[in-house]
Amino acid sequence: MVKMPSADEIDKKYRESIGRVPGAYKEKISKVTGWKEAAVAAEDLWAAKMQEAISAKRRAKALEGVSDDEWKRKAMTLGAERIARGMAENADKRKKNYEPYRTALEAVDLPPRTADPLANVDNRVKPIVKALVETKKSIKG
């Protein structure tokens, strides 16, 4: 027989570790090198595992295990708590990423609106969509 600690013992140890984990996490992260190269090199493995997850419908199975109430509770507590901090921490990145799209849209020359809504879509909406798609392709490669 394998001797295992009780659920209460494991829970106690888990809760005691919460205060230590952020510092240990930061320490380990500061020592990481070559993460991007390793991630790129593992692209084929990642794609295979993603296909496996898709085939097994793991996403749907995991979603079935979460109630609406649980999702709402976590979104309203964790999500609401983290969203402003995440926005503030990424404001400079958002600004930088927005600029190519703003520039592309500014360069679109739109003809005046007409009484024909379909002509407006062809002449005004489609050039905007085209500029956005081309910008995304040029950025993402």
Across 1-27, average pLDDT: 94
Q: Give residue 103's pLDDT.
A: 96
Percent of the chain with pLDDT over 90: 96
Domain boundaries, the chain: 40-89, 98-141
Site of tokens 């090198």: 33
Q: Label residue 141 by pLDDT band (50, 70, 90).
A: confident
For residues 104 and 115, is the Cβ–Cβ distance under 8 A?
no
The per-residue pLDDT for range 103-112, each reduced to its tens digit, is 999 999 999 9
> Rounded mean pLDDT of the chain?
95
Q: Give residue 140's pLDDT.
A: 85
Interior angle at CA 106, CA 92 and CA 113, nearest 5: 135
Report residue 51: phi and psi, to 5°. Answer: -65, -40
Q: How many Cβ atoms are within 10 Å of 114's Cβ, its own excluded?
A: 11
The per-residue pLDDT for range 36-73, each reduced to its tens digit, is 999 999 999 999 999 999 999 999 999 999 999 999 99
Does pTM top 0.85 for this prediction? no
- Distance, in Å, from the CA atom of 74 to the CA atom of 80, rounded to the nearest integer, reads 9
For residue 126, is pLDDT > 80? yes
Percent of the chain with pLDDT over 70: 100
Task: Kindly write down the DSSP assignment for every residue of 49-87, as one continuous string.
Answer: HHHHHHHTTHHHHHHHTS-HHHHHHHIIIIIHHHHHHHH
Q: Which of 94, 109, 97, 103 is nearest to 140 (CA)?
A: 97
